[in-house]
Amino acid sequence: MNRRAMLAMPWALELDASESAPPAKNTDYVLVHIDTETTGLQAGYHELIDIGVVYTDRMGKELGRWYKRLMPLHPERLDPGAQKVNGFDAALWKREGAWAPEKALADWIAYEEKTFGKRPRLRVAYNCGFDKSFLDALYRQCGREWSENYTYFWFDLPSMAWALGYRQIRGPWVAEALGVQDEPHGGIDHTGITGAEVNVRIYRKLMEKAKA
């Protein structure tokens, strides 16, 4: 893209500077299936308390996984609805060794760099706008840029299901329609890693359907 075209599209300056566009021909992607748990719905006010990630190749073969509980800076902002979903309790998280956000993010980045090197990575999520908003807030809080590690593309599982003719939107409905095992709902057994695992199961089934 030339400079004149970039000036006509200010958002392109940021994308070019971050070099976060996917490679033009490289299809050896690592898919980063992400699920998060939070203290509420408002990113930047509410915070992450749990991140689960399962890594696969394009066909859904598992390549690795990463999971951490995070201790929010403002646990007093916990929304009762969020607590009902994920069972967050500050005292429990502290007893179980929840990590500070900066430490958790540094560990996550180090894990990916050690495990996957320079292989391009694409993020996959269910309701990716929600996860993206909280992860963007985490990166900003820690003084990091997500474009260090990812392209700006996300794969959204409901959109993929919709393209194959499924009109369900909520995760449990899609899981049921596809005949895959859902995750626990409500309480401390509902975590980022259980969410990432069911997302992978949904992704694999969608890939099977797409090939049929």
pLDDT at 21: 73
Q: How many CA atoms lie within 13 A of 174 on its CB side?
A: 28
pLDDT at 24: 66
d(CA 165, CA 51): 30
pLDDT at 146: 84
pLDDT at 102: 97
d(CA 151, CA 67): 21
DSSP readout, 82-146?
Answer: HHHHH---HHHHHHTTPBPHHHHHHHHHHHHHHHHTT--EEEEESSHHHHHHHHHHHHHHTT--G
What would the pLDDT profile of 58-97 be if each residue is shown by its tens digit?
A: 999 999 999 999 999 999 999 999 999 999 999 999 999 9
pLDDT at 125: 97
Predicted structure pTM score? 0.88
pLDDT at 11: 37
pLDDT at 118: 87
**pLDDT averaged per 10 residues in sequence order, the chain, 212 residues:** 42 44 74 98 97 96 98 97 96 97 97 93 94 96 86 92 91 92 93 97 95 80
Domain 27-211 has CATH 1.20.1250.20: no
Structure tokens, 125: 């999520």
